[in-house]
Amino acid sequence: MAEQKATNVTWHDHRVSKEERCQQNGHKGAVLWFTGLSGSGKSTIANTVDHKLFEQGKHTFVLDGDNIRMGLNKNLGFSPEDRTENIRRIGEVSKLYTDAGILVMTAFISPYREDRDQVREILGDGEFIEVFVKASLETCEERDPKGLYKKARAGEIKGFTGIDAPYEEPEKAELILDSDGKGIDDLADEVVAYLESNGYLSI
C-alpha cells in the first residue's frame, strides 16, 4: 500500500498470538468498515453497533473519520492523495486492533474503491467486513447534520464527496444497509445479526 522507506528494521513476533487473544476475548477480531456518503449515518450506526456489542461483553472500538483527523491524521487534507493516505493509515491501525482480537468499527467516507480493497488485502480472510451505508445524495443533503453540503453547494468547500468529488460504491460489500428507508437501531441490529450468523461473536 505504501513504499517501505525505513531501513534496518526487523519484525518482532509476539509471544501472545492473535488466536490466543481471540480465545481469551471469547470472539473473533475483525474490521467492520462502514463506508458511504457524508450524512448517510455511518458514525451513528457504528456507535450503535459498538454499544450493542459492548452490552454483550464484547471487546470493541470505533474509529471515526473526524476524530482520527484531529489526531493521527491531522496533517492530511482532502486531496485524492491525502484521502488515500488517510485510509492506508486507518487500515494499518485497524489491522492492529484485529490482531488484538478486537471488533473494530471504522466510519469513513473512504470514497475510492481501490483504497478500501487495499485495506481488505492486508487483513486475513474474513477479517474485513465492508458495510455500505447506502443513502441517496438527496437524503444526505436533506439531513446535512454538519451543514457541509450547504457549504459545498455554495462553493465554500472544494472537493466534497458527492458534489464535486466522486464516491465509488462497493462492488462486493458484505453488508448493504438501507439508510434511506430504515432507522438506526434496525440497521445496527442487521450488523449484529450478520456477526452472529457468521460466527464472529464466538470462538
Task: Report whether 126 belongs to an annotated binding site.
Answer: no
Which whole-number Å values give the CA distances from 71 to 4, 66, 148, in the listed order? 23, 9, 21
Task: Report whether 43 belongs to an annotated binding site.
Answer: yes
Q: Which of 17, 79, 94, 110 is catalytic?
A: 110
Is the Cα torsion angle 200, 179, 169, 90 positive or negative in sign? negative
Task: Report whether 181 belongs to an annotated binding site.
Answer: no
- Tell me if residue 110 is catalytic: yes
Task: Report whether 36 belongs to an annotated binding site.
Answer: yes
Cell readout for 17 is 498470538
3-state SS, 26-70, equals CCCCEEEEEECCCCCCHHHHHHHHHHHHHHCCCCEEEEEHHHHCC
- On whether the CB atoms of residues 200 and 19 are closer than 8 A, the answer is no
CA 145/CA 142 separation, integer angstroms: 9
Block residue for cell numbers 473512504: 110
Task: Report whether 58 belongs to an annotated binding site.
Answer: no
Task: Report whether 41 belongs to an annotated binding site.
Answer: yes
Task: Report whether 79 belongs to an annotated binding site.
Answer: no
- On whether the CB atoms of residues 122 and 1 are closer than 8 A, the answer is yes
Q: Which residues are annotated as a binding site for ATP?
A: 36-43
Q: Catalytic amino acids?
A: 110
Q: Which residues are annotated as a binding site?
A: 36-43
